[in-house]
A and B are shown apart, each in its own frame.
Chain A
Amino acid sequence: MRAEHELIAQWIAPGTRVLDLGCGHGDLLAHLRDTRNVFGYGIEIGADQIRSCVEKGVNVIEQDIDGGLRNFDDGSFDTVVMTQALQALHRPNLVIGEMLRVGREAIVTFPNFAHWRPRLHIALKGRMPVSKSLPHQWYDTPNIHLCTFRDFEVLCRDNGWRVLERLVADSNHVQGTLMQTLPNLLGEIAIYRLSRK
């Protein structure tokens, strides 16, 4: 299981209800079901991912997150999770709003674009960063709304969303001490736990 899932799982209480946006192959939901008796649904558009979910017995709904979550009632989940999908959305701010409408809490993870490596890439090469975690060229990347720790916290503040917890990690999900002091420069992965005010 991805290390990120371990970090997220600790925020999810046993026996609760979880909606996982962009659930991929359903690993997080299967893990939560098996270890924490969590009931949930995944939302996904990838055909192979959907099949993997079905094989694992994970509930999966083929649906485009950018279209909103209108088919889910207000407050119908304890937690709505979205890992590494924020940057690929057309209107990420609206989707987070939807997450906090249907869930009591939201967990969002994304790559920090202000990490020193992409900064250096632009500064020295004068070109859009291409790296292991962001391997695409600017013209074919699905990551159309990259942001930084600071950007995200401004968005939360402007929308009145409360940051309950924040984790700063590198691409191996190790939470180094130095990056906790300078997250925007040294953190590669941002993991936020939010609630409505």
Chain B
Amino acid sequence: MPEVIPADSVGIVVPQTAHFDEPLALECNRTLAGYDLVYETYGTLNADASNAVLICHALSGSHHAAGYHSAADKKPGWWDLCIGPGKPIDTDRFFVVCPNNLGSCYGSTGPTSLNPDTGRPWGADFPLMTVKDWVKSQARLADRLGIRRWAAVVGGSLGGMQALQWSIDFPDRVRHALVIASAPKLSAQNIGFNEVARQAILNDPGFHNGHYYAHDTVPKQGLILARMVGHITYLSDEAMKQKFGRDLQSGKFQFGFDVEFQVESYLRHQGEQFSKFFDANTYLLMTKALDYFDPARDFGNDLVKALAHVQASYFVASFTTDWRFSPERSREIVNALLKNRKNVSYAEIDAPQGHDSFLLDNERYLALFRAYMGRIAGETGAAPAATGAA
């Protein structure tokens, strides 16, 4: 637990749930009859609802982007570095909304929820979701909260894809899109890594075709392997070298298959921890959502056409050592926007930590992020909140 909650934290936050009865037609041609979206908000919505910022989470993220759920929490929300009073997304100026995506295992309707038709958990019967589906569901949440137009939609990685999709699907509802460490679609290599992860889960004897809840078990080994391979792709070669090198646990070779190198120990530990709280069906669903994402597909595979009608201004950022979503991929987005004569700024941040950089402290990254959000605050009249006694 934090000894004292830091002054630049949003403090203790309470997740909320919005229930929707209106059926949601999905890209897979199935329909969710009703669903819950769990979300958190930070800051205060201003009178004309012009200071609202939507945060979209990535593969293993949740609605808990900032602050603490209780004083006993060891760690704050996943993007606490960037969200809070005086932080790049300044909660003294903006009203921040972070929903948990459908299909997740953190509270919004997903594979672990009960299927109303059977009374049992959905498991593998839960429909596969796409980024477009998520955006549609988030738009309903925006309606519910009285937000007609977001000052900004912000996300990294899979979250950046949602920000991009938002600007395409709801051009008049997004003033700015911040697309960080993302890509306009996955490469064959990316899909390949996701497939290895899925095969690890699907072939785990504990998977039971996705209905492991009924067997009171989980495909733990599969999930561990999936996370291990994923984790390697989030780090850079250099970061792994710095962190582990070829260091051995015991200083000498054991000539066996137990943990010998530090990197093995680290990956097993990360996988093990992850398998304790993450759901395997959600992992499968999230990787498929990544694989399916390709907004150009609806426009003759032409990203320039896909972005022709957008109205948002964009901030696109990539990290030099990110090989999962390399700077080249971000430049594809930027160049398609340039061809359409849209407002866009692009920065390539020198950072050693690979794809994970978007979640980590980096002076230049945070300064730029702050500068861009400051500009939005200026435009939208998201003035600093009055301080002191009212």
Contacts and interface: CB of A to CB of B under 8 A. Distances in A.
B374 A61 contact: no
A50 interface: yes
Given A17-B341, A50-B347, A62-B346, A55 B335 contact: no
A61 B339 contact: no
Given A54-B375, A55-B375, A62 B347 contact: yes
Nearest to B348: A62
Contacts of B348: 62
Interface string B330-368: 010011001101011111100000000000000010011
B331 A71 contact: yes
16 contacts: A17-B341, A54-B315, A54-B345, A54-B372, A54-B375, A57-B378, A57-B379, A58-B345, A60-B345, A61-B338, A62-B348, A63-B346, A71-B334, A71-B338, A73-B339, A76-B341
A1 interface: no
A59 B335 contact: no
A17 B348 CA distance: 25
Nearest to B347: A62
Nearest to A43: B346
Given A54-B375, A55-B371, A58-B345, 13 more contacts: A17-B341, A50-B368, A51-B364, A53-B345, A55-B374, A56-B375, A60-B346, A61-B334, A61-B344, A71-B334, A71-B338, A72-B338, A73-B339
Interface string A26-68: 0000000000000101000001001101111111111100000
Chain A to chain B: the 4 pairs with minimum beta-carbon distance, closest first? A54-B371, A71-B335, A55-B371, A61-B346
Contacts of B371: 51, 54-55
Interface of A is mostly: mixed
Contacts of B364: 47, 51
A72 B331 CA distance: 12
Interface residues of A, number: 21
Nearest to B350: A47
Contacts of B367: 51
Interface residues of B, number: 22
A59 B344 contact: yes
A9 B345 CA distance: 23
B133 to A, nearest CB: 32
A28 B374 CA distance: 21
A60 B337 CA distance: 12
Contact of B368 (A17, A51, A73): A51
A54 B344 contact: no
B366 to A, nearest CB: 11
A72 B364 CA distance: 27
Contacts of A58: 345
A50 B348 CA distance: 10
A59 B331 contact: no
Interface in A6-23: 17
Given A62-B347, A62-B348, A71-B331, A54 B368 contact: yes
Contacts of A17: 341
Contacts of B331: 71
Contacts of A54: 315, 345, 347, 368, 371-372, 375
A195 to B, nearest CB: 22
Contact of B338 (A41, A53, A56): A41
Nearest to B317: A62
A47 B371 CA distance: 12
A72 B338 CA distance: 7
B37 to A, nearest CB: 32
A47 B372 CA distance: 14
Contacts of A41: 338, 344
Contacts of B372: 54
A36 B157 CA distance: 38
